[in-house]
Structures are given as structure tokens and as C-alpha cells.
Amino acid sequence: MNTNTPPRVAPLPFLAHSAAATIAAAAVILAGVAFMPARAGAQDPAASAAAAPPTKNLVVPGEVFSVDGHTAFLFTPAEVNALPLGAPRPWILYGPTLAPYPDEAEKWMHERFTEAGVAVAGIDTGESYGSPAAVQATEKLHAEMVKRGYAAKPALLGRSRGGLWASAWAIAHPELTAGLGGIYPVYDWRTYPGVEGAAGAYGLTPADLLAKVDELCPVERIDVAARAGIPVCIIHGDIDAVVPIEPNSARLKARYEALGKGDLVELIVAEGQGHNFWEGFFHCQKLVDFLIQRARAGAIGGNAAAGGE
């Protein structure tokens, strides 16, 4: 039962007599609303969206933040007293940092890194395939990490097309690279995503990109990393039809060997495996141990621990 007292209704003759006054009063009220200052806390929707913090699904505990307009992430490491007092904190630079990656398939691996006191970080530059623009954006992330007390020489990990990001960084900044790791990585964009697919990311036509292959294709310039003594550890399937092992990981190893640096590369061939979610790719203890060791080496003294120059 409704216990509210119904409003009193004025007689019709009164309404007719005061219609003009009522309309005038309503006009004054509406005018006041139109010119009323915005309420405290009210915001323009576009401004709110611009101010909203970046979001990303993290497979292990960490932080999502923005670097020069790009979404970045950091998997927070445990406090482990494995380094000399005062040494910067070790970390791994990861690629490709895209909306789905790092993903659940990699969770075990990243847990091993952070439990060992090694952070993992990356920056989303879109499908940039290791282009100069991607390297420039990664430089901003690197500066932020150093500002936060992390080492100037991270280890690098590239999964699939992330190999283009990782190798491009190693070539552009060998002095800021402690080691290069890969899971069925791409080092030659001619194999994936193909010249047509990569050209836009490089701001070139396919013909112009192909004309600059010796300058812009990582596998053609990996000699820079070899001469710098950057150690490498890769796991790659021998029947990978998406990212074939021969023109990518095997070619990188061959380039190192041609310079007398073959002992710096460990290529783990996963027999009978293609480009898939086989657990062995993401639970590879050799790769995990390599990246932890190289990240720590980068924090305390660079490539000397691996016999590099």
C-alpha cells in the first residue's frame, strides 16, 4: 500500500489564469540550468578516456604503465640477494608486447624469472616488426627502467615475431644487450610477416624495403651482435612452417659461426615440433637459466661472464 500523500491539484480556473506566469517562470528556471556551472567532478568523456590509465592482462603480478603514449608492463621481481650490494636490478626486455602477449602459455617461465629476482618488461609498439620506430619507443622504456634502478644491459627475449623486436634492439644497442633468447623467433621479415606485411611498419613501400634489406633486416645485420660477443640461446621446432628454422634461427647461428663466434649460440632444436603451444617451448629450463644468468651478468658486468668481447 502506498502511504505517500498524493500531491494537491489546483483547480483548472487557476491554471488558466496563471498560465503566462507559469511559462515565464519555467523559462527563467531553464535558463538558469543552461548557464549553471558544471558540477564538481564532472568531466568531458573524451578527456576522461585520455586520462584513463593503460590496462593490460598480466599473467604474473606486476605493473602496467604508460611510456611516451605506449602501454608498457613490468613483472615485479622477488627480492633476491643474488647480486653485489648496490648493483642495479636485472631484467629481461620482452617482445612482442601486444594485447595478447605475454600470455598464459608463458606463465611458468615468467614466474621462474621473477622468483629469481629478475624483472620482465616490454612496451607495446603495435605490429612494428622491429622497425626503427619500435627501437626508438623501446629506448624510452629502457630509460624509464634505468631510472627505476634497473640495469642498463637487459637480457632480451623474443617469441615468434618478437624475435624481430629483440634482434633489432641488439643490433641497434649491442652495448645495452646482455644476451639474446628466443622461442621460435623471427629474424628475417621476408619469412614472416613477409615484405608486404612488414613494409607499412617501416614506412616504406615493399620495393623500397626490399632494396634496404641489408640495412633493415635483422638477420642480415646480426654480425653486429656477433662481433659484440652477445650470447644467444634459442629453441625452435624443426618442422615450423610459419617461422621456418633455417632462414631464421639456423641462419643466425651460421652468421655467428662465419665470424668464429659459433660457441656463443646454443640452438635447441625441438624435433617434430612446429609453431605451436607445445609445453616444451615455454618450460625450457636451458632457456630460462640462460636468461636469468645473462640478466644478472648485465647487472654486474656485461658480456665478460659469457666470454664475449
CATH code: domain of residue 185: 3.40.50.1820
pLDDT at residue 83 in the model: 82
Q: How far is CA 195 from the centre of its chain?
A: 23
Does a structural domain hold residue 49?
A: no
Domain membership of residue 1 (yes or no) is no
Coil/strand/helix, residue 17: helix
Domain-located, residue 55: no
pTM, two decimal places: 0.82
Q: Express each pLDDT in 48-106 by its tens digit.
A: 445 577 889 999 999 999 999 999 999 999 987 778 888 899 999 999 999 999 999 99
pLDDT value, residue 51: 56
Structure-block grid coordinates of residue 128: 612494428
Residue that wins the pLDDT comparison between 13 and 294: 294
Per-residue pLDDT reduced to its tens digit, 60-71: 999 999 999 999
Number of domains comprising the chain: 1
Query: Nearest 5°: phi and psi at 305?
Result: -65, -20
Pinpoint the alpha helices (H) of the chain.
Answer: 12-17, 19-34, 45-51, 107-115, 132-147, 162-172, 195-199, 206-211, 213-216, 218-221, 223-227, 251-258, 279-282, 285-300
Residues 6+ apart with CB under 8 A from 87: 151, 299, 300
Kindly state whether residue 119 falls inside one of the protein's structural domains. Answer: yes
Q: Work out the percent of the chain whose per-residue pLDDT is above 90.
A: 76
In this prediction, residue 240 carries a pLDDT of: 99
Identify the burial level of 138 via C-beta atoms within 10 angstroms of its C-beta, where 0-12 means exposed, 13-18 middle and 19 or more buried. Answer: buried
Tell whether 34 is covered by a domain: no
In a domain, 52, yes or no: no
Does residue 86 belong to any structural domain of this protein? yes
Does some domain include residue 114? yes
Domain hosting residue 100, numbered range: 64-306
Question: In degrees rounded to 5, what are phi and psi of residue 264?
Answer: -85, -10
**20-56 pLDDT tens trace:** 444 343 443 333 333 333 333 444 544 444 557 788 9
